[in-house]
A and B are shown apart, each in its own frame.
Chain A
Amino acid sequence: MEDPLYKDLIIEHFRDPRNRGHLECPDRSAHVKSPTCGDELRVTMCLEEDRITEIRFDGEGCAISQASASIASDAYIGMTARAILELHEDWVTQLLGGPVSRSRRPCASLHLMAVKQALRH
């Protein structure tokens, strides 16, 4: 079965997620639930001068939502809150290396929703 979305990158990160878990003393945190499917993600992060120095994701959901968070996690490190708040869905798609169907975009972008929520509070 050829499935472009379930290609090596997604499967690799789903099987072996990076930055998984939670930080004990985070500067910011958020817990979000996907409005479409109920997938959940919790994010904890440490900041230094408005820049993310450490980040962890934890949650339950489909391969796309969980792997996408793992793929993006390293990219978040070093980014400023201001830059992150200006990011859009297409950044998530670029990281995944290909198009994501409309119905799966909320799954793929769940981590961005979580990170933005944490940074706004």
Chain B
Amino acid sequence: MASASACLEVRGDFPLLERCAAQPLVYLDSAATALKPKAVITAMSHYYERATANVHRGSYPLAEEATEMYEEARMRVAELCNAPYEGTVFTRGTTEAINLVRLSWGRARIGTGDRVVVTEMEHHSNLLPWRALCEDSGAALDIVPVDSQGRLDMQSLLRLLDSGRVKLVAVTHVSNVLGTINPVDSIVSACHEAGAACLIDGAQAVPHLPVDFTAISADFYVWSGHKALGSTGIGVLHADPSILEEMPPLMLGGEMVQGVWPDRVEYKPPPWRFEAGTPPIAEAIGLGAAAEYLLRLGLARVQAHDAVLTEYALARLERVGGITTFGPAIADDRTGVVSFRLDGVHPHDLADLLGRRGICVRAGHHCAQPLSDRIGGPTTRMSFGPYTTTSDIDLCIDGLIEARDHFRSLTAL
């Protein structure tokens, strides 16, 4: 069993936790969006209060400073995932990063007779773009099923790859419903052996475990800033610069060109080619601060902290009775989220009743409807961040028992 001493003690870094003195905030919805440390808020305020200027344009000192901060942020973000600086594109989020790959890379390379593979545990953002690409191109979409333990059916994936027609496999690193950590290293190797490219959706992985883009060697690795302690409106696409070099820009406009002549245009090299217009500068700077914060905490420590919370939550839920939990039974095989169902109380009613006690959990299909249908419908989900404590879980379980008893007493015949 993981040791409770592995838990981080960083609550003082997160101002939102002091929101209301009368009722402590029990924030268990970090998979939807994480709380922000003071360091991120300060970095963004500093840009607005002391260093506002557009980037890559002006040559006056203020503009130089803003550009320096923006590119420094890219460096920190690349460092966080051990990705090349030139292979780190700022996007608006995971969704935009995936759609960028769909439209810039996918449209040119995928056609009739090809196959695209996704899995049953994908968030809609890593399902719908590929379904649309297949509809547009005449390619076929295959879905790798999830087994009863909440793991991917790897044999099914390997069989699909054996067909020799798979051009792309798009798979999540960590499931936002089950918490399953997928074996991305072996998935990428299998894809490359079969001549397929691989995109990994890291939205639920980056804030929870060490991610080494270079070691995973995926063609594309995408994630969101706001789930990784940064602000909304910023995300990341990591790719080998040589792959990005062959991709046409998606958005056209200012900033992304070397030169424009009456009859031709020369684009900047990646990553700047993919950042047309004024980028989300403050958001990028905030994400740089979030990356620095996570690097200082150490992702191995964050992962150990998550493992303690996951194991604790699973054990406490099991003792409540009438609870069904989902995902791998072994805490080390999962991270970040624990989804469950309570007999006799619909997840929405439960989340509403908990919310009235200052306990924030999510209920529903978690933007992964095919998976939700596969596991029998909506669930209630608690999800963790570096600031989450076992005491948050205790308060949630106490609230859950009280809500259940209250609900049952009201509805008893």
Chain A residues within 8 Å of B, Cβ to Cβ: 1, 3, 5-6, 11, 14-15, 36-39, 60-65, 101, 103-104, 107
Contacts and interface: CB of A to CB of B under 8 A. Distances in A.
Nearest to B353: A3
23 contacts: A1-B356, A1-B357, A3-B356, A3-B406, A6-B349, A6-B352, A6-B406, A11-B410, A15-B413, A38-B364, A38-B365, A38-B369, A39-B348, A60-B377, A61-B346, A61-B348, A62-B347, A63-B407, A64-B348, A64-B352, A104-B348, A104-B352, A107-B348
Interface in B358-413: 363-365, 369, 372, 377-378, 402-403, 406-407, 410-411, 413
A38 B349 contact: no
A39 B357 CA distance: 24
Given A15-B410, A38-B378, 18 more contacts: A1-B353, A6-B352, A6-B410, A11-B410, A14-B411, A15-B411, A37-B365, A37-B378, A39-B348, A61-B348, A62-B346, A62-B349, A63-B407, A63-B411, A64-B348, A65-B348, A104-B352, A107-B348
A87 B277 CA distance: 44
Interface residues of B, number: 22
Nearest to A39: B348
Interface of B is mostly: helix
Closest 9 CB pairs of A and B: A62-B348, A62-B346, A37-B364, A11-B410, A1-B406, A62-B349, A63-B349, A38-B365, A15-B411
Nearest to A15: B411
Contacts of B402: 1
Contacts of A104: 348, 352
A100 B349 CA distance: 13
A101 B351 CA distance: 13
A47 B327 CA distance: 48
Contact of A63 (B346, B357, B369, B377): B346
Interface in B126-151: none
A101 B403 CA distance: 18
A15 B411 CA distance: 6
B196 to A, nearest CB: 33
A62 B407 CA distance: 12
Contacts of A6: 349, 352-353, 406-407, 410
A60 B347 CA distance: 12
B243 to A, nearest CB: 36
B15 to A, nearest CB: 24
A121 B353 CA distance: 37
